[in-house]
Structure 1
């Protein structure tokens, strides 16, 4: 299913500009390298647009905001749009503060995103301007399950139509959709939430995959999320065998992504397409 998607990444080795948060920046860079991409991080307003012009994709992550960084995000986003480069929005903690909500709303007005990726509470904040997030984590009341799955899919498809972006909702069941089609991905492991940055790393991986497959952003996003889920499962298995802890899990996660071949991907993926 994803063979061509993955092969295109190996051929292209996309360079990704990440304006991301300082909590996870090193892990994001290493994860991008692990999947055959190349990272560059620049959030100074005097160079943000210039750096974007030499890259293949842009990630905007609002995890740690300040006024200068926001202006850099806008400048870089507009430059990427002008060059028809994919832009990925990771609205980390949307709903946690008035300022964060205002920034998110401004970004959506001034930049066209190719993919918007977040947990269900962050995505609901974008769509409905609700404040149900628990810091950077999804509120328990929002979590996707079999009972509310169809409702969430309909909501995500509508948001995709409104934003003209692929919507990726991460959680126990990952939902990736455009206005017509949906991938339901049931890979991953709960321990992934016990280290900082799995979501930020995923945004970088999505950017790499969409940059190399610009005609298929839905499939590229689904492939990236599936890989990350399988890597989480493999990293947990190794952690249990080694009787190690969450610091080792982070290393095993990057290892699993850097060594994942098509046999591992196709043999491990748990996907339903609607």
Structure 2
């Protein structure tokens, strides 16, 4: 484990399960049930509160907020804006998942507005991060057309410009706060074939940063390391994406902090 980390993933997992943080998630229709179950298995308390009339008020109650623009609509966007404003005013960390933000002008405008509200963490695939940093990506829809390594420079620039942590997820994950950077190895090729696992990872990232709001870099690494370890373990038993999903949920709940630290493959970049 790199010595640049103030706490290990295992230490943060133990703290997260003790705190059982309440995390508000404004996510997409496809992901709501899956993300909630994944967060419960990991040790957090998810709340799927999105409407404008209560999103801001709830953000002040929750320990963290996550925003995923996967199935964007005017009503959802209004709730996102209210929640992000309230989280910022209350000093609560929040995570932005800019799903396919480059696909349409409506999505681009929505993400530009959300970026102005200063997310604590941005998590996306390589194409999303490259495009968010202002470069041309090869993404198509929600899928990345670029490699993680091709997005590393863009991630560092994005982190420096927005004073936040940026996570690029893919075959090897990359996390940076603009000064420190790590790569996280593990996972499984089956993971992108299970609906909403990436969206669920955004929720789990919110749970870890809710536990350690002063350590968003370490919190992000802990979330990604947890998924990488569990994904690698489950891939040894699953026969395909259908059996992978329930096995992933069970193993996520059974993973111990000591096991996470022993098996996490986090290296300085």
- Scaled to the shorter chain, the TM-score interval is over 0.9
CA displacement at 1:209 relative to structure 2: 0.3
* Residue equivalent to 2:12: 5
Counterpart among 126, 135, 140 of residue 141 in structure 2: 135
1:52 has 2:51 as partner:
no
Counterpart among 66, 84, 89 of residue 91 in structure 2: 84
Give the aligned length: 262
CA displacement at 1:90 relative to structure 2: 0.5
**What is the CA–CA distance in structure 1 between the aligned matches of 2:84 and 2:130, rounded to whole Å?**
22
CA displacement at 1:190 relative to structure 2: 1.0
The 5 A counterparts of 1:91-240 are 91-109=98-116, 111-128=117-134, 130=136, 132-139=138-145, 142-145=146-149, 148=150, 152-239=151-238
* Residue equivalent to 1:250: 245
Unaligned runs of 5+ in 2: 1-7
Deviation per CA, 1:75-97, whole angstroms, max 9, x where unpaired? 00000001111110001112122
Q: What TM-score do you get using the length of structure 2 for normalisation?
A: 0.93
SS in 1 for 2:133: helix
1:69 has 2:76 as partner:
yes
SS in 1 for 2:123: strand
CA displacement at 1:264 relative to structure 2: 2.2
Which structure exhibits the higher relative contact order, with contacts defined as CA atoms closer than 8 Å and separated by 6 or more residues?
2
The answer to whether the Cα contact below 8 Å between 2:87 and 2:94 also exists between their aligned partners in 1 is: yes
CA displacement at 1:131 relative to structure 2: 5.4
**What is the CA–CA distance in structure 2 between the aligned matches of 1:219 and 1:126, rounded to whole Å?**
23
Counterpart among 4, 19, 30 of residue 26 in structure 2: 19
Assess, with a 3 A threshold, how the Cα gap between structure 1 residues 185 and 131 changes in structure 2: closer, same or farther. Answer: closer
The answer to whether the Cα contact below 8 Å between 2:100 and 2:128 also exists between their aligned partners in 1 is: yes
* Residue equivalent to 2:255: 260
Unaligned runs of 5+ in 1: none
* Residue equivalent to 1:269: 264
SS in 1 for 2:190: helix
TM-align CA RMSD: 1.4
**What is the CA–CA distance in structure 1 between the aligned matches of 2:213 and 2:219, rounded to whole Å?**
8
Q: Structure 1 residue runs of 4+, over 6 Å off?
A: none
